[in-house]
């Protein structure tokens, strides 16, 4: 069985947190060796860390998602910084811009995003980027905040396309992570990007409890299911799942190795 890492899940949130032992043991029994559980606001990031401390191979990320912009304050950032400083918190995320939904005006989202990128620079930890219909702004902000060799790298999570994102990622030590949508019939444009992303810059994730891959689409997702997305990507690329999985595991070690 191929060994994999679920590079983006929310196992510290309900409903997954209600059966946390089951979720983690099903993942490990399915070859998922490591799970990165990702916070979306300061309180939630603390929960992510708590869950990471329960299991040796579960790690946390701490950040403020654009949807959670209202949780942003300097006091909250101080609290988030303390959480993010913990050695089991290996990334700042998820953070970014989302112009698809009516979360907050663009300048407000951008202010939070910039502050989070500043935190990642202070901590020298990679970032996990949520970008939805905001690619050009997102890249402009990343360029300003992390450009000029100051970046610890990062991941564009739940990648939904954009050649500009891929190009920037390859130039800047960033990775592209595919979630379960890759397996959806309607996701032809996402699948087409597979051939543009070298295997040494690729990840797979569940974004669970959301986005269950085919054949489980519509069900509650969990990290064990990342194997479906990996197998699907391997088939599309014409390689063995085992071979792709080995490469993706090395990518995780390359990006986060010094913290694992
Ligand atoms: Ni997420």
Q: What is the DSSP string of 113-146?
A: HHHHHHHHHHHT--EEEEEES-HHHHHHHHHHHH
Average pLDDT of every residue of the chain = 96
> Distance from the CA of 179 to the center of ligand 1, in angstroms?
10
Q: What is the mean pLDDT of residues 75-84?
A: 97
> Distance from the CA of 118 to the center of ligand 1, in angstroms?
21
Domain interval for residue 212: 4-256
> Distance from the CA of 114 to the center of ligand 1, in angstroms?
19
| Residue 123 near residue 84, CB atoms below 8 Å | yes
Q: Which residues surround ligand 1, an ion (CB under 5 A)?
A: 207
> Distance from the CA of 36 to the center of ligand 1, in angstroms?
10
> Distance from the CA of 10 to the center of ligand 1, in angstroms?
7
> Distance from the CA of 226 to the center of ligand 1, in angstroms?
14
Label residue 234 by pLDDT band (50, 70, 90). very high
Q: What is the mean pLDDT of residues 47-76?
A: 96
pLDDT at site 147:
75
> Distance from the CA of 242 to the center of ligand 1, in angstroms?
26
- Decide if pLDDT at 149 tops 80: no
Q: What is the number of domains present in the chain?
A: 1
pLDDT digits (tens, 9 = 90+) for 18-60: 999 999 999 999 999 999 999 999 999 999 999 999 999 999 9
Q: What is the mean pLDDT of residues 107-130?
A: 96
Cis peptide before 94 (omega within 30 of 0): yes
Q: What is the CATH number of the domain that holds 42?
A: 3.20.20.140
| Residue 52 near residue 41, CB atoms below 8 Å | no
Tell me the C-alpha distance between 153 and 111, whole Å. Answer: 20
Tell me the C-alpha distance between 235 and 232, whole Å. Answer: 5
| Residue 12 near residue 24, CB atoms below 8 Å | no
């Amino acid at each position: 069985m191929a060994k994999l890492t679920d590079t983006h899940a929310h196992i510290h949130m309900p409903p997954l947190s209600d059966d946390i032992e089951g979720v983690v043991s099903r993942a490990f029994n399915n070859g998922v060796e490591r799970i990165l559980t990702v916070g979306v606001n300061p309180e939630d990031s603390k929960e992510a860390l708590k869950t990471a401390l329960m299991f040796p191979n579960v790690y946390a990320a701490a950040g403020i998602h654009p949807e959670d912009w209202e949780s942003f304050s300097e006091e909250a950032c101080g609290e988030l910084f303390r959480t993010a400083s913990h050695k089991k918190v290996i990334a700042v995320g998820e953070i970014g811009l989302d112009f698809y939904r009516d979360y907050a005006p663009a300048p407000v989202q951008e202010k939070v995003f910039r502050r989070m990128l500043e935190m990642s620079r202070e901590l020298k930890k990679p970032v996990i980027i949520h970008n939805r219909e905001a690619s050009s702004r997102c890249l402009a902000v990343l360029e300003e905040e992390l450009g000029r060799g100051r970046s610890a790298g990062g991941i564009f999570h739940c990648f939904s396309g954009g050649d500009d994102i891929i190009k920037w990622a390859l130039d800047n030590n960033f990775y592209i992570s595919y979630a379960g949508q890759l397996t959806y019939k309607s996701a032809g444009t996402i699948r087409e990007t597979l051939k543009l992303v070298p295997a040494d810059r690729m990840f797979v994730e569940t974004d669970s409890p959301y986005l269950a891959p085919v054949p489980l689409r519509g069900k509650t997702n969990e990290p064990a299911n990342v194997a479906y997305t990996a197998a699907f990507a391997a088939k599309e690329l014409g390689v063995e799942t085992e071979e792709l999985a080995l490469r993706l595991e090395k990518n995780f070690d390359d990006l986060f190795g010094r913290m694992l």
